[in-house]
Amino acid sequence: MKKIELEIVALSHSLAQTHNYAIVLGEQDGSRRLPIVIGEFEAQAIAVAMEGMSPNRPMTHDLFRNTLQGFDIEVKEIIITNLVDGIFYANLVCVQNGKETTIDSRTSDALALAVRFAAPIYTYEFILEQAGIVLEDEQEQEVQRARRGRAAAQPKPKTLADFTESELEEQLEEALTKEDYERAAKIRDEMNKR
């Protein structure tokens, strides 16, 4: 089967399932999107790697990457191989000393490792046909209007820009202590802007 390359285009809270996130993969040479619901821990692991953050201690996916690299194993690619009853299946394709091995993986874990190894992400046509979506320009504009409408209806919370540098440093320490790396990345970005 011909593989179709995907890239991570978005990571956000899942509107359909509370306490879950959605990672959206985009077809690299096309307009289809593949939304996948993942857990909070996996979303945080992906966000930390995408932001290039280095936690004080290795997270689980960092530990696994370090272990693989310690044995000279590289993740060559990940492939989302199947979709059964709404559950995506994935494989890690690993290489050690020229020998290729395929390892079954949860899709969310495979994506967290793909980011850490800068490995390409692939799937097959039948999966994009089953679960892929194409947002037409009108639909995309409608989604954006709905988001703006929801945002306007809610009272505006205090933003990071409203805090002093010392308050930001305290919040950064607190976020790292709680292992809320997504928030820590936002705080770090605000501090870097200044």
Residue 54: other Cβ atoms inside 10 A: 10
- 75: β partners: 94
How far is CA 119 from its chain centroid? 13
C-alpha dihedral sign at 75, 76, 82, 85: positive
- Give 51-108 pLDDT, tens digit per residue: 888 788 888 999 999 999 999 999 999 999 999 999 999 999 999 999 999 999 999 9
Q: What is the CATH number assigned to the segment(s) 3-137?
A: 3.10.690.10
The residue among 102, 98, 99 whose CA lies nearest residue 81 is 102
> CA-to-CA distance for 161 and 187, rounded, in angstroms?
9
Q: Which amino acid is at 114?
A: A
Instruction: Yes or no: say if 78 and 92 are a contact pair by the CB < 8 Å rule.
Output: yes
**The pLDDT value given to residue 155:** 44
**The pLDDT value given to residue 75:** 96
- Give 25-55 pLDDT, tens digit per residue: 999 888 899 999 998 888 999 998 888 887 8
**The pLDDT value given to residue 143:** 45
Length of the chain: 194
> CA-to-CA distance for 92 and 80, rounded, in angstroms?
9
User: Using 50, 70 and 90 to split pLDDT, how confident is the model at 20?
Assistant: confident
Domain spans of the chain?
3-137, 156-194
The tokens describing 78, both together, are 């990940």
